[in-house]
Chains A and B, each alone.
Chain A
Amino acid sequence: MREEARREGVWQFLTYTFVLVMTFLTIVPLYWIVVASTLPEQAFLSAGSAPRLIPGGYFAENFAALQQRLSVGFLFFDELLNTDFGFVGGVFNSVFIAVAYTLLSLVVCSRAGFAFAKYEFRYKEPIFYSILATLILPIQLLVIPLFLLMSQLGLTNSYWAIILPWLANPLGIFLMRQNMKSIPDALLESARMDGATEFQLYYRIALPTMKSSLAALAIVLFLFQWILFLFPLVILETDKYTIPVAIDQLVGAQRVYYDQIMVAATLSIVPIFFLFLFLQKQFVSGILAGSVKE
């Protein structure tokens, strides 16, 4: 038994080492962005000297400069207060758009994924592969047709313009299809026997048992919208700029405002940190356990 305990100890040590090393490698560049946001520009850009790794005291100055340089509104407060929120307006816009998009797209992707995973219908395979094929289209090629479509719908410079085109997100549909394959057919069949409607199968069985996967889907969708750049840049005006578009305004032809970019980038990581912390808590195993007696 002691041999086994020793082995277990070694195993745990190796696991921790691996996780800590990988986390360290992941965090260093991010940490550096945060440190850079607290330094005057020259302090972290100067080449040759040893890199500064200790935060300085310039965050407030950099933040004030950033707020002054950018003027981004936020639709809902704007109509009431008519205020300029500086860069923070961009954070409001990004959060609002990403939350609305994620909630709506969760419904569409989970419905579609459920259908592709658990139903048989005509042309199922070709339809699925066509959806998958759209993944390869780079955004650079889609910008012009999408712009024309959105302007014909009268949706330029609206939040809808960057929510609607990706509501049926091929990435999300594919992810849900792959995950929902693990719902046992027998479970759905027995629910049908008990008189559940097809919608109830989705709503009362598929969704609750797929809680972990839905949390992962929420992360995928939220991030997708959070880092979207080219299309928002084309279709939105200053009053609705999202974070990536707002930050891009700091890259001027004459001068790049690195210190302010670092502050903006730091601020854009904060909401994601708390969101991930919350969503990964939804990863619970064993919901499907014992659902079917074999």
Chain B
Amino acid sequence: MALHQQSPSQERLFNTTFVLLIQVPLMIVTALLLAVALDASFVRFKGLFRTALALPVSANLVAYSTVFLLLVQETGLINYALTALGFGPVPWLTSEFWSRMTLVGAVTWRWTGYNMIILLAGLQNIPQQLYEAAEIDGANRFDKFRYVTVPQLRPVLLFTVVTSTIGMFKLFAEPAIINSGGAPLSSTITIVQYIYQTAFIDFQLGYASALTYVLIGVVSVLSIVQIRVGGSDDA
């Protein structure tokens, strides 16, 4: 019964949604552009680029968070570079807005290459004849991207969008790291973190279970909408 009165859960859900609305499109578009670029025949050392870009997922979380906090702290490397370029130091961890952007940056850094790899594999399944036919019809690079690559890649794109959205709802490690770095406590706490706290720290198991059902409901509806909208008849 506490569910509809409590604002913290709504705030957490809002945090998750806000970060999600920026992060997922940013990451998927970047990943798609990288995949297309690293599929082009003229690019050399493709293997090295692909591998380097996909490596961050494998980085150990403890090491990654240590380095990450060192990078974004008040006197860290990023602010060092920004100051050198003439921009003021950015409060990456202490301002409500920037801490969310830090979260977006951290997740995008870690998962873009992973999604690129998945899209790159999907690109290989597009029949070459479609591109040749488009060329005969006078299609330029953008036409081919718009009318061949994107529609043909739709099922795989859908996979990356759905799993990234779900991933954002489940986000746990990154916000915990950013909070430990001194972010205004609630601005980056996500819904799953809140459920975890409620269940295993406050021991309100019933309330946590209720929240989990709400979460599953929200995410299921969102996934089904994405699949219906993005998949039309064949995805």
Decide if A and B are genuine partners.
yes
Residue positions of A touching B, CB distance < 8 A: 11-12, 15-16, 18-19, 22-23, 25-30, 32-33, 36, 44-45, 47-48, 50-51, 129, 132-133, 135-138, 140-141, 171, 174-175, 178-179, 181-182, 210, 212-213, 215-216, 219-220, 223, 226-227, 229, 243-244, 247-248, 250-251, 258, 261-262, 264-265, 268-269, 272-273, 276-277, 280-281, 283-290
Pick from A27, A182, A268 the residue with the most CB of B within 10 Å. Answer: A182
Given A19-B38, A135-B163, A141-B212; A265-B64 close (CB under 8 Å) = yes
Name the one of A28, A48, A171 contacting B163, with C-beta atoms under 8 angstroms: A171
Residue pair B114, A182 in contact (C-beta under 8 Å): no
| Docked CA distance A229–B59 (Å) | 13
- Known A51-B70, A212-B122, A286-B124; 5 more pairs at CB < 8 Å: A133-B220, A138-B172, A227-B58, A277-B48, A289-B127
Does B185 sit within 8 A of A, measured CB to CB? no
| Docked CA distance A171–B160 (Å) | 10
Given A22-B53, A133-B220, A140-B192; A265-B59 close (CB under 8 Å) = yes
Closest to A135 in B: B166
Given A26-B53, A44-B70, A50-B80; A219-B117 close (CB under 8 Å) = yes
Name the one of A16, A32, A136, A178 contacting B170, with C-beta atoms under 8 angstroms: A136
| Docked CA distance A248–B68 (Å) | 17
Q: Is the interface of B mostly helix, strand, loop or mixed?
A: helix
Name the one of A11, A50, A171, A178 contacting B235, with C-beta atoms under 8 angstroms: A178
Q: Which residues of A contact B223 (CB under 8 A)?
A: 132-133
| Docked CA distance A179–B113 (Å) | 19
Residue pair A175, B159 in contact (C-beta under 8 Å): yes
Does B10 sit within 8 A of A, measured CB to CB? no
21 contacts between A and B (CB under 8 A): A18-B34, A26-B112, A29-B56, A129-B220, A135-B166, A136-B166, A136-B170, A141-B199, A178-B235, A182-B125, A216-B121, A219-B117, A223-B57, A250-B62, A261-B62, A262-B63, A264-B60, A269-B59, A276-B54, A280-B47, A281-B47
Q: Which residues of A contact B51 (CB under 8 A)?
A: 273, 276-277, 280
Name the one of A44, A133, A251 contacting B216, with C-beta atoms under 8 angstroms: A133
Q: Which residues of B contact A272 (CB under 8 A)?
A: 55, 58
Q: Which residues of A contact B156 (CB under 8 A)?
A: 175, 178-179
Closest to A36 in B: B67
Pick from A51, A136, A243 the residue with the most CB of B within 10 Å. Answer: A136
| Docked CA distance A30–B60 (Å) | 10
Closest to B118 in A: A216
Residue pair B235, A23 in contact (C-beta under 8 Å): no
Residue pair A136, B169 in contact (C-beta under 8 Å): yes
Does B229 sit within 8 A of A, measured CB to CB? no
Whole-angstrom distance between the Cβ of B40 and the nearest chain A Cβ: 6
Q: Which residues of B contact A136 (CB under 8 A)?
A: 166, 169-170, 215-216, 219-220
Stretch of B1-9, B13-21, B71-79, B95-103 with 4 or more beta carbons under 8 angstroms from chain A:
B71-79
Whole-angstrom distance between the Cβ of B32 and the nearest chain A Cβ: 12
Residue pair A140, B172 in contact (C-beta under 8 Å): yes
Residue pair A244, B109 in contact (C-beta under 8 Å): no
Does B61 sit within 8 A of A, measured CB to CB? yes
Given A26-B109, A178-B156; A283-B63 close (CB under 8 Å) = no
Instruction: Produce 1/0 per residue, B74-92, CB < 8 A to A.
Output: 0111001000000000000
Residue pair A223, B219 in contact (C-beta under 8 Å): no
Q: Which residues of B contact A47 (CB under 8 A)?
A: 73, 75
Does B30 sit within 8 A of A, measured CB to CB? yes
Does B66 sit within 8 A of A, measured CB to CB? yes
| Docked CA distance A138–B141 (Å) | 41
Residue pair A26, B55 in contact (C-beta under 8 Å): yes
Residue pair A261, B66 in contact (C-beta under 8 Å): yes
Q: Which residues of A contact B66 (CB under 8 A)?
A: 258, 261-262
Given A212-B125, A264-B60, A284-B124; A22-B70 close (CB under 8 Å) = no
Closest to A224 in B: B57
Residue pair B34, A30 in contact (C-beta under 8 Å): no
Name the one of A15, A51, A171, A262 contacting B43, with C-beta atoms under 8 angstroms: A15
| Docked CA distance A33–B128 (Å) | 41
Whole-angstrom distance between the Cβ of B26 and the nearest chain A Cβ: 12
Closest to A285 in B: B124
